[in-house]
Amino acid sequence: MLTASEAAAQLGVKLGTLYAYVSRGWLKSYRRKVGRQALYRRSDIEALRGVIAPERGVRARSLPDASSWVTVAQPPTDGSPTGVIVAESAVSSIIDGQLAYRGYPIEELVERASFEEVCLLLWGGERPRPEEVDHLRASIAAARIAPPVVAALAAVGADAPPLLRLAVMMPSLAAAEHRLPARSRIDQARMIITVLSLGLAAVARAAAPAAGDGGGESAATVPGMAARLCERSLGGGFTAADREALDRVLVACAEHELNASTFAARVVASTGADLYASVLAALCSLSGPIHGGACDRIESMFADLDAGTRIDQMLDAFSANHSLPPGFGHTIYPAGDPRAALLKRVAKTTAKRKGRKLFETALKVEEAVWKRERLRPNLDFYLTVCVRMLGFARGMPAAIFAMGRAAGWIAHSLEQYADNRLIRPRMRYHGYPLRHW
């Protein structure tokens, strides 16, 4: 018996190609009685090598490269059951705990780039020209939603969860598109980004603007996604500092390689469906509590603490349910999520203007979880803290995450369209053996 690495070496192929041969039925793998490692019979490997690798000058029938007919899946090098590689991408990278968009470190982008610049960077691959950024910002400021979208939003009601309101916009936008001259995918991308903030009811506010928030701005004078969101949800009392803080949050949320929602978007794009369908698929994936529900659970946690629950009681309850505190730990960042560290700085600065209560509670929770579980906060934790400190209503952190991440969903869909191959993975069957009716 040979291991996967030994078998691939004998065949002279990559591991992904070896696994593809198994999925096509050209090679059989076996499992150890103890452990999960797949093994391969030496005789099977030698027989297959005679097909794919001609010897002694005899030309044999060659099998096509696996990547030409199947999505290649490669297991992680650390032996963990998650993190299977299924595609290549130039949109973002996570290498040794360092996140980068199109090669630019996330730290530099959160500090220096606007959300509109990041959108265009992710979609086009290069730093955009100032006039391109100005055009996108002006489009966001001037955006209006078509009657079919207005009708769909009215049907779900102003009290519908923000994520649901975003989701119902997508098929309505697609319906409105059929009544217009055909537009390019990049124009569809701009359309999605420009109207997303309009799907949130203007009444979705946590409270009136805090006293002392003078010097308010408006989306009419400062175009862009952050300004439009503040206008729709906070009214006219937001400040330049509030808008800047929200812009930092959107940049931090914009992209994160191939998570569940991004993979959903790419799968739909691989079928040739339009961008509206791809973004809708991502939003539907995000609606699941395991992927997109962390912000809501974090908000509930802070609500319990406000109601008088002690932090140690809260952590005891999580332990009793065999669950971790929401907003802590990340499989890709065992040493800590760099996005959380960046948004923690945003929250610290915001606390000086908005009051320190929520921020200080967050610090106490972070310290307690570290002492007890040795876990650092992830993006969701300080995203929720920042958004609620700015005055947005409950349920809005998840929606703001979605609006930021839409930039990445679109970028991945555009990349899939550009060099498309239908994403059609295989599954390993472990049901009944073949039987007869």
Can you name the residues that pair with 94 across neighbouring β-strands?
A: 99
Is the pLDDT at 215 greater than 70? The verdict is no
Name the class of domain 2-68. mainly alpha
- C-beta atoms surrounding 253 within 10 Å: 25
Q: Catalytic residue among 44, 65, 135, 291, which?
A: 291
Is the pLDDT at 78 greater than 90? The verdict is no
Is the pLDDT at 40 greater than 60? The verdict is yes
End-to-end CA distance of the chain: 35
Closest among 421, 376, 417, 430 to 188, alpha carbons compared: 417
Q: How confident is the model at residue 76 (pLDDT cuts 50, 70, 90)?
A: low
Q: How confident is the model at residue 201 (pLDDT cuts 50, 70, 90)?
A: low
Count Cβ neighbours within 10 Å for each residue of 288-299 and write b for 16 or more, e otherwise.
Answer: eeeebbbbbebb
Computed over every residue of the chain, the mean pLDDT equals 85
Can you name the residues that pair with 40 across neighbouring β-strands?
A: 2
**How confident is the model over 286-314, as a mean pLDDT?**
92
DSSP 47-89: HHHHHHS--TT---PPPPPGGGTS---B--TT--SS--B----
Q: Do domains 2-68 and 101-437 have the same CATH topology?
A: no
- pLDDT for 420 equals 86
Q: How confident is the model at residue 351 (pLDDT cuts 50, 70, 90)?
A: very high
Higher pLDDT, 236 or 124: 124
**How confident is the model over 85-94, as a mean pLDDT?**
87
Q: Active-site residue 330, yes or no?
A: yes
Burial class of residue 181 (count of CB atoms within 10 Å of its CB; 0-12, 13-18, 19+): exposed
- pLDDT for 57 equals 38
Q: Catalytic residue among 247, 330, 337, 412, which?
A: 330
Higher pLDDT, 44 or 124: 124
Of the spans 216-220, 233-237, 329-333, 376-380, which averages the highest pLDDT?
376-380
**What share of the chain has pLDDT > 90, as a percent?**
56
- pLDDT for 75 equals 54
Is the pLDDT at 71 greater than 70? The verdict is no
Q: How confident is the model at residue 159 (pLDDT cuts 50, 70, 90)?
A: confident
- pLDDT for 50 equals 61
Is the pLDDT at 54 greater than 50? The verdict is no
Q: Active-site residue 247, yes or no?
A: no
Longest CA–CA separation in the chain, Å: 85
Is the pLDDT at 69 greater than 50? The verdict is no
Q: Distance between CA atoms of 201 and 161, rounded to whole angstroms? A: 10
Q: What is the pTM of this model?
A: 0.79
Is the pLDDT at 285 greater than 90? The verdict is yes
- pLDDT for 77 equals 56
Q: Distance between CA atoms of 168 and 153, rounded to whole angstroms? A: 7
Contact predicate 428/316, CB 8 Å: no
Q: How confident is the model at residue 288 (pLDDT cuts 50, 70, 90)?
A: confident
- pLDDT for 396 equals 92
**How confident is the model over 338-363, as a mean pLDDT?**
96
Q: How confident is the model at residue 121 (pLDDT cuts 50, 70, 90)?
A: very high
Q: At what angle do helices 185-196 and 130-142 cross, to 10 degrees?
A: 50
Name the class of domain 101-437. mainly alpha
Q: Catalytic residue among 242, 296, 380, 412, which?
A: 380
Contacts of 307 (CB under 8 A, 6+ apart): none
Q: How confident is the model at residue 384 (pLDDT cuts 50, 70, 90)?
A: very high
Show me where the domains of the chain are located.
2-68, 101-437
Which of 39-43, 51-55, 189-193, 269-273 comes out lowest in average pLDDT? Answer: 51-55
- pLDDT for 10 equals 86
List pLDDT tens digits, range 128-143: 999 999 999 999 988 8
Is the pLDDT at 91 greater than 50? The verdict is yes
